[in-house]
Chains A and B, each alone.
Chain A
């Protein structure tokens, strides 16, 4: 399958084909929108404008993208080691718990300059710890990581509900959420940060964790392709026997990689808990962990691809919300359908169009050999 697209130039493989896939998804979505009696062009316009057309919309788009970058990277790094981490959701949940506990414990005592690194560390450690257990079970006990990470999502949800309902709930509150952190426990919003340097920007949940997300991309890229640890990670992922031959201990690589993966997913908690809600609450992960799988797939497990796919998903999420808001006939279920189509075409069916593109490409291109004759 892969060899087919290998005979295509890289710009077609990673540039043109995804664009074709998204276009196909939009065409099918357009048909559905037409069927329910709305104008697909209007819908697309509303969606794109809502996501990219004004500052607040851009802010929301980038805020969503931040979450997707974290979970997308988490899936991608595990994938390079041949591991399928479906537990991003639970790891993100735990990461949020870690941040929340640190903030609830120290927000009165410490300044933001200390709370920021502490929160970072806590979200990474909690997320990593949540991934370490399935990793250990996979590496040393042979329990399949797909199963265990799914299980751990449920355990994380149950644990959070227990803690929020019984332990961390703000007294006198109906809603199972903690008290709000004091100001030193808030990550600066992007509109605040930009205001300091004199750039006005509309308020949105976008906060400085997007900077951290981009740094993570750079760091992860360097780790995977430019260090001996990443080298061992990829060796295990591509060819475990060769890795053993090379003196690599695959078990150790599995555990370390899953900890990195879980830590990255845990940063969703940083963005959501410390960056947006400023309190612990239920369900702040909202499926970002699962969407990370699609993001990573679409981004071909490459940090840059993940960033681009995250932006696309950010647009889909924010534009989708806008669409549901502006066009009453398009319900949120319809929006999910459109999002699903985009994921289907650019993720699951990513290589569906490749043979056709290849055929067209070779029909247009061949000038090297004379007298082309197809009998």
Chain B
């Protein structure tokens, strides 16, 4: 009985407090199946919204889905509860956002990695191929054997875009460089299989690879460990993972989903939010490569200069990095 009354009391309190702050922005985020602690993509978004919360003091609602049907359910529920802006994490939520956005034309929606055309949806896209191109160049320059490797997570177009950019970057340094690619699997389990990641990495090392780039979510942890154990180099992805194994982490390809999440919430708060496509590339600072105290010994001045030059060239449009998604091939 006591607990029921506490429930009622807290429910009333909740209503009161929301009533008081009715004018404040009520953001919401719907994480995808990986969950907000996936040490990768969803976690990046989580960092961004937490930063927003810390700086503004504004509370946000969140939900982690466990099956595909819940995407639409959760997004609609957020909208029904009066959330002002709802952020969907991952391309898989595109169709759900598209549907719900139509039903709630006065609510703002944003989708990371997805592309939805609607007057109240902001699509937050990244040019992963640009960053992958840069780390591909770095890999080629750091490789002594002339062979570099790529370990993807689940075999989907997005990951092939990473792979393609990486390959183009490596070949940009030397057309003779060999690029060996492996995908961890074909099911979502491929995002969280460090054991298999390590195994694939050792396999690539046996084939002469000495720098390996992982775009595989939590699976990457195994890749980096295998590289450390073998004394070879590895490249992190999404967030700055250089700190994991200083000395063998050559660099990390940064995909700043945290920035994207933080920005879209901030814009909504400041009234500058606009629907439409927002692309995060090298130019926008949404994509970058990581250079810090953990890997500065591995990057020579010459390497750094070349990479920065390429970066400027890409930003200026002098180098066009092929996007796998544009023609579904990597020629």
Contact = CB atoms under 8 A, between A and B. Distances in A.
Per the CB under 8 Å rule, do A and B touch in the complex? yes
B201 to A, nearest CB: 21
A162 B160 CA distance: 13
> Counting chain A CB atoms within 10 Å of each CB, which of B35, B68, B69, B155 scores highest?
B69
B154 interface: yes
Given A157-B186, A161-B154, A174-B114, A283 B35 contact: no
Contacts of B325: 174
A281 B3 contact: no
A53 to B, nearest CB: 14
B114 A324 contact: no
Chain A interface bracket (under 10, 10 to 19, 20 to 34, 35 or more):
35 or more
A157 B66 contact: no
Contacts of B157: 165, 169, 174, 176
A38 to B, nearest CB: 10
Contacts of B156: 161, 165, 176
B258 interface: no
> Counting chain B CB atoms within 10 Å of each CB, which of A39, A162, A332 scores highest?
A332
A40 B67 CA distance: 25
Interface string B1-15: 001101100000000
Given A161-B154, A328-B62, A174 B67 contact: no
Contacts of B63: 324-325
Interface string A307-348: 000000000000001001100100111011000000000000
B90 to A, nearest CB: 8
Chain B interface bracket (under 10, 10 to 19, 20 to 34, 35 or more):
20 to 34
A41 interface: yes
Nearest to A64: B69
Contact of B115 (A157, A161, A174, A177): A174
Nearest to B81: A325
A287 B7 contact: no
B94 interface: yes
B77 interface: yes
B210 interface: no
Nearest to B326: A172
Nearest to B35: A332
Contacts of A332: 35, 64, 66
23 contacts: A42-B3, A45-B7, A60-B73, A161-B154, A162-B186, A165-B156, A169-B157, A173-B94, A174-B113, A174-B114, A180-B95, A272-B68, A277-B68, A279-B95, A283-B67, A283-B68, A283-B188, A287-B67, A324-B63, A324-B64, A325-B63, A332-B66, A336-B66
Interface of A: 39-42, 45, 60, 63, 154, 157-158, 161-162, 165, 169, 173-177, 180, 205, 272, 276-277, 279, 281-284, 286-287, 321, 324-325, 328, 331-333, 335-336
